[in-house]
Amino acid sequence: MSGNEPGNERDQGNELAPQALVVAVQLAPGDHVANLLVAVGRGERVVLRSGRYEQQGLSTSGPPGASTSASPIVALERIPRFHKIALTALRVGSEVVRDGYVIGLTSEAVEPGQWLHTHNLKSARA
């Protein structure tokens, strides 16, 4: 992987409503994380778009298992573009699933809306 660095600016091509909601892609149902398509600041609301090919368009559902919730996830901190936002609360040592694959274990407890990266997500393989 090389090339485009994650930027802090908003995605140029996004046609979002005036009180823009930040969009993140949850690739597979049940994933604990979503990839942000634009950078997000603390307190900003993030709506999920399903990466599922059976569905279309935006979904405002909350974390997996709480699909009835109409409220988007609120980012608890600044998260760069393309990085991962937690969709669900995870205890320390929990498996983290993205696109159906276990991508590592949490090294501390994580709240929905937190940034999941090398500071709190460790490889189980290394």
Partner 1 sequence: MSSAPLTEFQGYPRAHGPAGVRNHLLVLNTTGLTEATARRVHVALPGSVLVSTPYGMGLLGVDAERQLASLIGLASNPNVGAVLVLSADRPRCDALIEALKPLDRPFAALCSDEVGHDALRLSDRAVREGARLRRQASRVRRTPQPLAALVVGLECGLSDPTSGIAANPLLGRLTDRLVDEGATVIVGETLEWLGTERQLAQRSASPRIGEAVVAAVLRRESLARQAGISLTDINPNRANIRAGLSTIEEKASGSVAKTGSAEIQGVLRYAETPPGAGLYLMDAPAYSPESLTGFVAAGAQVLVFSTGVGNSHVSALAPTLKVCANEATMLGLSEQIDLDCSSLMGSRANPPAVLDELLERLLDVASGTWTWGEAVGEGAECISRFGESL
Continuous H helices in 66-124: none
Q: Which two tokens stand for residue 69?
A: 């919730």
Whether the CB-CB separation of 81 and 36 falls below 8 Å is answered with yes
Residues 6+ apart with CB under 8 A from 23: 14, 16, 36, 37, 38, 46, 47, 48, 49, 58
Quote the distance between the C-alpha of residue 78 and its chain's center: 12
Which one among 9, 18, 54, 68 touches partner 1, defined by CB under 8 A? 54
Among 77, 101, 109, 111, binds partner 1 (CB under 8 A): 101
Piece of 49-57, 59-67, 68-76, 86-94 that binds partner 1 (CB under 8 A): 49-57
Closest approach, Cβ 104 to partner 1, in A, equals 4
Q: Is 27 exposed, middle or buried (CB count within 10 Å of its CB: 0-12, 13-18, 19+)? A: middle
CA 68 to chain centre: 18
> Which stretch, 15-23, 59-67, 68-76, 86-94, contacts partner 1 (CB under 8 A)?
15-23
Q: Which region, judged by CB under 8 A, interacts with partner 1, from 53-61, 62-70, 86-94?
A: 53-61
Site string for partner 1, 17-46 (x = CB under 8 A): ------x-x-x-------x-x---------
**Residue ranges in contact with partner 1 by CB under 8 A:** 1-6, 11-16, 23, 25, 27, 35, 37, 49, 51-54, 56-58, 80-84, 98-104, 116-118, 121-126
